[in-house]
């Protein structure tokens, strides 16, 4: 007489819901940082305006957002899922 094995369902997902949510938040912050860094176009492309190119938003805020987005992405990937 053979014993029947009960197969328990295994969760083969690499990431959990929290991980995917953190990844989405990181992507949104990254996109916002890149949009802020790109800025708007100049009214006259033949005139160089250093105040527009070297603005506080492009030089300081945008890189901080981009680095924060990458840190969130790394945390989202490295965080152990609670379902596993």
Percent of the chain with pLDDT over 90: 52
Q: Does residue 11 belong to any structural domain of this protein?
A: no
Number of domains in the chain: 1
Q: Does residue 23 belong to any structural domain of this protein?
A: yes
Q: Does residue 4 belong to any structural domain of this protein?
A: no
Domain range for residue 31? Answer: 17-40+49-78
Q: Does residue 5 belong to any structural domain of this protein?
A: no
2-11, 47-56, 72-81: least confident range: 2-11
Percent of the chain with pLDDT over 70: 85
Q: Does residue 35 belong to any structural domain of this protein?
A: yes
pTM reported for the whole predicted model: 0.77
Q: Does residue 24 belong to any structural domain of this protein?
A: yes
Q: Does residue 55 belong to any structural domain of this protein?
A: yes
The SS3 call for residue 9 is coil
For 11-46, b where at least 16 C-beta lie within 10 A, e where not — what string?
eeeebbeebeebbeebeebbebbeebeeeeeeeeee
């Amino acid at each position: 007489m053979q014993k029947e094995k009960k197969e328990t369902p295994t969760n083969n997902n690499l990431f959990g819901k929290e991980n995917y949510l953190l990844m989405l938040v990181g992507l949104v912050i990254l996109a916002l940082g890149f949009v802020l860094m790109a800025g708007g176009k100049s009214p006259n492309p033949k005139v160089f305006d250093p105040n527009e190119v070297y603005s506080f938003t492009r030089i300081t805020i945008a890189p901080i957002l981009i680095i924060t987005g990458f840190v969130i992405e790394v945390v989202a990937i490295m965080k152990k899922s609670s379902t596993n």
